[in-house]
């Protein structure tokens, strides 16, 4: 690589605090526009903005996002389709066959009640958002009596667990309660478990057929 300053020193020019290299324009630097005053000075009069128009005005002269020159924008041209249900819940599914495999491998202790936290810590389910729903897929392979607490359970799953001598209890968790249940170490004070306030949730967890925890209170 060529170093001009080293060449100058070798030729006896000594140290230079000002170099002709400093007069070169740096293309990476965008210099500020210096406007003048009056039509005879550089960048005077209209200061490079041209005559009239939106971009010649002071203040915010940028076009708003979505503006299409006055015609009906595409955001208003077509109607809305569908909606987002704010009360919807996304439960993580758990099949009986997968649960039996975890029990056979010793990854879940069946000598004590199984909660959602036990399921989460055993890595049988991941990314729990609203809770866990127990399903009956592979129910013919399930043969271990257990006591399990989940958010919801299908009728076939409840029937199979009770047939082998087990027990299912469906417990309601709101967002804060579920987070405190899964990660209690992040809370200084564990919040009190909230009761369901939605009418459909109250009816579900108060029904003995669904093994709701409010049915026995």
What's the confidence (pLDDT) of residue 60? 73
Among 156, 94, 141, residue whose Cα is nearest residue 119: 94
Enclosing domain of residue 173: 92-205
Question: Average model confidence (pLDDT) for the chain?
Answer: 89
32 within a domain of the structure (yes/no)? no
Domain count across the chain: 1
What's the confidence (pLDDT) of residue 13? 54
Residue 110 pairs in a beta bridge with none
pTM above 0.75, yes or no: no
Low-confidence ranges of the chain (pLDDT < 50): none
Tell me which residue has tokens 């210099």: 31
What's the confidence (pLDDT) of residue 21? 64
166 within a domain of the structure (yes/no)? yes
What's the confidence (pLDDT) of residue 31? 84
47 within a domain of the structure (yes/no)? no
What's the confidence (pLDDT) of residue 200? 92
What's the confidence (pLDDT) of residue 53? 86
Distance CA 53, CA 32 (A): 23
What is the CATH number for 166?
A: 3.100.10.10
What's the confidence (pLDDT) of residue 184? 95
Distance CA 153, CA 212 (A): 10
């Amino acid at each position: 690589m060529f170093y001009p300053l080293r060449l100058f020193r070798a030729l006896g020019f000594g140290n230079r605090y000002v170099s002709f290299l400093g007069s070169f324009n740096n293309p990476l630097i965008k210099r500020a526009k210096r406007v003048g005053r009056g039509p005879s000075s550089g960048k005077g009069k209209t200061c490079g903005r041209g005559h009239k128009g939106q971009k010649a005005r002071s203040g915010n002269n940028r076009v708003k996002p979505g503006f299409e020159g006055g015609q009906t924008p595409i955001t208003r041209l077509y109607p809305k389709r569908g909606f987002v249900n704010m009360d919807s819940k996304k439960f993580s599914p758990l099949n009986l066959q997968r649960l039996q495999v975890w029990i056979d491998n010793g990854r879940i202790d069946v000598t004590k009640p199984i909660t959602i936290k036990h399921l989460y810590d055993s890595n049988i389910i991941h990314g729990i958002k609203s809770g866990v729903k127990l399903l009956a897929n592979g129910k013919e392979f399930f043969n271990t009596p257990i006591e399990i607490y989940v958010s919801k359970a299908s009728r076939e799953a409840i029937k199979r667990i009770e047939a082998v001598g087990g027990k299912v209890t469906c417990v309601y968790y709101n967002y804060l309660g579920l987070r405190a249940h899964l990660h209690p170490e992040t809370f200084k004070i564990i919040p009190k478990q909230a009761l369901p306030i939605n009418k459909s949730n109250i009816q579900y967890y108060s029904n003995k057929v669904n093994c709701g925890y409010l049915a026995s209170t």
